[in-house]
Amino acid sequence: MRHPTSSAMLRLYGRGTAGRAVVRRMVNRFEGGEIYSDTLRDIFRQYHRVDVGAYTHGGCFVPHAFGPGTTIGRYTSIARSAFAATLDHPTHLKGMHGFFFNPELGLTDAERHYSPLEIGSDVWLGHNSVISASVSTIGHGAVIGAGAVVFKDVPPYAVVVGNPGRVVRYRCEPETIAELLAERWWERDVTDLGRDLDAFSEPFAPARDAGVQHLRSS
């Protein structure tokens, strides 16, 4: 959804940081909130280098909570306290202070290299979860539990908890995961999915231990 003032709001956001929070609130009000707002997605794509898919909502729209180079799929739910780094302090340098690697502080012209991060569709990132810069992929349908600190890529439909984060189970059996990944229901519009709403309200059987072991070894 885009309001007739969309282009003006986008330009206004680019003029500086002082009024950016106000612009975001206005855009949300005009376009039905962050679940539906196309202009909010334009803002984060252009000014924060965070590409957010349709119907995704939450902490991905908190500036600087997700680093530049992050791509997030559709229908993903993110706690407002979640954080994903795409840049670490350089431990290989003599000094780790921003003076020595951040050109915005005026003492170096070194280029900052952000690591790309791809978060899938239908993902849930819980309260205070942290995705480190060593992670490149969070698979479709994955769950990152509250307080988890993730250092490795997460397979589709895995449930990750703890610090360091570890896969404790999968949301469903391998056969069901394969079917969901092939179906790619998240590519459909929500108005289309509404016709099959009962299918999304019915639970599927959780993965057996054998299924978890099979996926871990694949």
Residue 213's pLDDT is what?
45
Distances in Å between the Cα of 40 and the Cα atoms of 1, 33, 57, 148 are 10, 9, 11, 28
Hey, what amino acid is at 143? V
CA distance 55 to 58: 10
**52-87+116-217: what fold?**
UDP N-Acetylglucosamine Acyltransferase; domain 1 (2.160.10)
Distances in Å between the Cα of 115 and the Cα atoms of 38, 65, 71, 125 are 25, 15, 11, 19
Residue 177 · residue 183 · CB < 8 Å: no
CA distance 211 to 70: 30
Tokens at 143, concatenated = 């769950």
CA distance 77 to 146: 13
Model-level pTM? 0.87
Determine if the peptide bond prior to 203 is cis (ω within 30°): no
Residue 216's pLDDT is what?
43
CB atoms within 10 A of CB 101: 20
Residues in the chain, pLDDT under 50: 210-218
CA distance 90 to 218: 33
| Radius of gyration of the CA atoms of the chain, in A | 19
Residue 124 · residue 144 · CB < 8 Å: yes
Annotated catalytic residue, options 89, 97, 127, 214: 89
Residue 102's pLDDT is what?
84
Residue 57's pLDDT is what?
98
CA distance 25 to 34: 9
Catalytic status, residue 89: yes
Residue 51's pLDDT is what?
98
Residue 168's pLDDT is what?
96
Tokens at 202, concatenated = 């019915």
Residue 194's pLDDT is what?
72
Give the domain ranges of the chain: 1-47, 52-87+116-217
Distances in Å between the Cα of 189 and the Cα atoms of 8, 77, 123, 192, 193 are 27, 16, 17, 5, 6
